[in-house]
Every structure is written in C-alpha cells, then in structure tokens.
Amino acid sequence: MDLSLSGKLLVASPLLDESAFRRTVVLVCEHDARGALGLVLNRPLRARLEALPDAWHERAAPPAVIFRGGPVAVDSALALGGAPPGSTPPSARPVLPGVALLDLEDRASTSHTSVAQLRVFSGYAGWSGGQLEVELEQDAWHIVAARPADAFDGDPGTLWQRVLRRQAGALGLLATFPRDPAMN
C-alpha cells in the first residue's frame, strides 16, 4: 500500500476475534513503510485522571478516564488533543484537522490555550512494516474516514456500531452484526 492511512479509522471486522481488537475503532496516527501507530478510541479504563496534572484533567473529554490505546507499551501514555486546525501546540503532531498527538512531556503542549479537549491513552496499537497491510488483505479491518469528534467521543461503548452505521452500503450493515453469531 503506497498511501498513508494516517488520519483514517480502522474499524475491526466483526469476525476479528482477537480480544485486544475485538470491535475496536483505531485512529491511525502514523503510517509509513516502517509501520503504523494507532490509538484504540473505544476502550475506556477505570483509571481516572487524578494522578495527572490539573491542566490535563481539566480538559479531559468525557468520560474523564484513561483509555487503553492498544496492547503495545501499556506502561506509556499518549494523548490526543483537540484544537482548531492551525492552532495546535508547536510540539504536537497533527493527525487530522483539529486533532493532534500531544507530547505529554511538554508542559506547554498540554497547557496550550488552544487545546480544548484531551484524551489520554495507556499504550498503543502498533504494526511493523507491512504487518497492517497483511491484516487489511485478510479483511481484519475496514478503512473509513475519521471525524475529529471520533477521537473524543463521549459514548465509546457504542462507537464501533455508530462508525459502521454511518458508512454506505454493505459496510453500514455490519453495525447490526451480532456479538455472538452462534446465538443469532
């Protein structure tokens, strides 16, 4: 695949049964020939943000908890910040218009006045060079357009169904796929 998927959503196929990715929505933050990095948008944890500096949890998008960004480096933290396009902090890496990957070590980044929303993730989803492309060929993922609001969605438990439902044709019908096809 020659085109970068940065800024796109990967929506797990209903048949993808790997527990870490079952019915997930992943925002691809970086993608090139060396691999890909994404954040799972619909796996909130019970961990609250109290341990983080006030500048972070004051801007946390509800639910104000840490999210499981994926199975890689779960002891690390990444954050997405929402700000008007062109007004993100200098150390931020834009992912899509209005959404950027923030450097949590840079206090100016998280306290920057333009950052209106913040979501913190424990770990990330990572693929080595060519690995994601193989999974796409195996129909494990559906590539769809991302909306800035997806990164800060207030109802992550239904995000998978809602992202699929807004797709045209057969892809939209996957939103009705039962959790356990054997029980259908």
Q: What is the CATH number of the domain that holds 78?
A: 3.40.1740.10
Q: What are phi and psi of 164, to 5 degrees?
A: -65, -40
* Count of the separate structural domains present in the chain: 1
Is 124 within the bounds of a domain?
yes
Mean pLDDT, to the nearest integer, of 6-26?
Answer: 94
Using pLDDT thresholds of 50, 70 and 90, give the confidence band for residue 140. very high
pLDDT exceeds 90 at position 105: no
Is 111 within the bounds of a domain?
yes
pLDDT exceeds 90 at position 143: yes
Is 23 within the bounds of a domain?
yes
| Three-state DSSP string of 108-144 | HHHHCCCCCEEEEEEEEEEEECCHHHHHHHCCCEEEE
Range of the domain at 88: 8-183
Mean pLDDT, to the nearest integer, of 105-126?
Answer: 81
| Contact (Cβ atoms closer than 8 angstroms) between residue 133 and residue 139 | no
Is 2 within the bounds of a domain?
no
| Contact (Cβ atoms closer than 8 angstroms) between residue 49 and residue 29 | no
Question: By percentage, how much of the chain surpasses pLDDT 90?
Answer: 65
User: Mean pLDDT score of the chain, rounded to an integer?
Assistant: 89
Is 1 within the bounds of a domain?
no
pLDDT exceeds 70 at position 108: no
Is 135 within the bounds of a domain?
yes
What's the whole-model pTM score? 0.92
